[in-house]
Amino acid sequence: MFPPVLIWKPIRPLFAAAASLVAISLIGAIASAAPPENADGTLAPWFQSLRQPGTGISCCSMADCRATEYRTSATGYEAFIDDKWLAVPADRVLDHTNNPTGRAIVCYMPGRGILCFVRPAET
């Protein structure tokens, strides 16, 4: 039978590498979830009040939502995200929601897509 120390020593570098990879991933996720530099902290309660239509699940926090350029198309709205126009699913548009920002807001997560879209206040 091998002493436990001899079995553990070859595994130790693999464990350290795996732990480092997990730590880097977590740090990256936290960093990407940071609000924009010019975020108005007084709007945080408004962002936190946004709920996905049909489910009532929170759309986002200030970290997931951003002011965006938008346009209308034959099928609805499109939001400019990551240097491209993305179609906003009709069931993600928050109707009858006051928007104190003055700009269109999109709550977006890579891999999950558009969670919510709020049009700017109409004038």
pLDDT score recorded for residue 63: 64
Average pLDDT, the chain: 75
**Per-residue pLDDT tens for 50-109?**
988 888 888 876 568 889 999 999 999 999 999 999 999 999 999 877 899 889 999 998
Cα angle 29, 35, 36 (rounded to 5 degrees) comes to 115
Joined together, the tokens standing for residue 95 give 């109707």
Phi and psi of 30, rounded to 5°? -65, -45
| Average pLDDT score over residue span 33-46 | 70
More confident residue, 86 or 12: 86
Q: What is the DSSP letter of 93?
A: B
